[in-house]
Amino acid sequence: MAAGAVRVAPTCVPLYNIKLKHRIHTGLVTLGCFDGVHPSLTCATDGNKVFVHHPFSRHRVAGGSLVQSLTGVDTGEYQTLSLQQRVSALLAGQAQVDSSSGEKLPSDILFIGSPESLRAYNVENNEEVFFKEVADGVNCLAVGLLGDASSPLVFAGGNCSVQGFGMDGEDHYWTVTGDNVRSMVLCDFNLDGYNELLVGSDDFDIRVFKNDEMITELSETEIITAITPLYR
C-alpha cells in the first residue's frame, strides 16, 4: 500500500431484510437447509414456541405439528411449532444417513432441547423423528460425527454430562464433565483426521474428548458460553 493511502473496510450488505412480530430469545437461533437446498431461519420465541421462516416460499406438508401461517412476517412462508416445555437449546444439522450408500443426507433435522427433554423434528416432512426425556437437561447441542463413528449423533450438554443420541432416539454416547455444560462443538482438534468433542462448562474449563476419553483440558477465566472452530 502506498504511503498515505487509507485502507477502506469492506461493507457488509444484507441479502434480505425481514420484520418479525415476535421476540427472539437470545442464543436460540439456527439456520437450516431443511429441504437440502434452501436455508431457513429458525428461532425460539415466547410461549414455548419455535418459528421457521422460509424466505424461499414453497408448498409444505400439512398435518403435522408445524402450523403454516402468512402472518407475523413480511415476506416468505412462516411456520410455528408449539411445545409444552421451555426451549433451552436449538440447532439444525445433517444427522440422517442414506441406508444404501451410508452417505449423510443433505436435508437438515431440527433439534430442540428443553430442561427435561430433546426433540428431533423433520421440518420438510412436518413430522417428529424422536422425542427423548433427558434427566440432566439440555443446555446446548452439537451434531455430527465423533471419532471414527459411521453415523452422526446429536450431542446434548446438560448438568455435568454429555449424551449422544442417534436418529433412532437411543442413547449411543455418554460422558461426564466437571460442571454444567454451556457450549460444545465438533472439530478435528488434534489434526488426526477425526472429530473430537470440545465441551465448555461453568467451571471455566474447555474439555476435549476423543470418543469418551478426555485428552486435553484448557482453563479460561470465565464461563465458556460459545466455542467456534477456525479452519485453515
Q: What does the radius of gyration of the chain's CA atoms come to, in whole angstroms?
A: 19
Q: Quote the pTM value.
A: 0.86
In whole angstroms, what is the distance from residue 208 CA to residue 203 CA?
14
- Asked if 153 contacts 172 with a C-beta cutoff of 8 angstroms, the reply is yes
State the pLDDT at residue 72.
Answer: 41
How many angstroms separate the Cα of 49 from the Cα of each of 28, 122, 198? 11, 16, 29
Cα separation, 181 vs 171, whole angstroms? 18
User: What's the average pLDDT block by block, 10 residues per block, for the chain (232 residues)?
Assistant: 63 75 89 92 92 73 55 61 93 86 84 96 91 96 93 95 94 93 95 95 95 93 92 73
Check residue 10 and give its pLDDT.
76
Q: Which of 20, 15, 40 is nearest to 30 (CA)?
A: 40
For residue 64, the model assigns a pLDDT of: 57
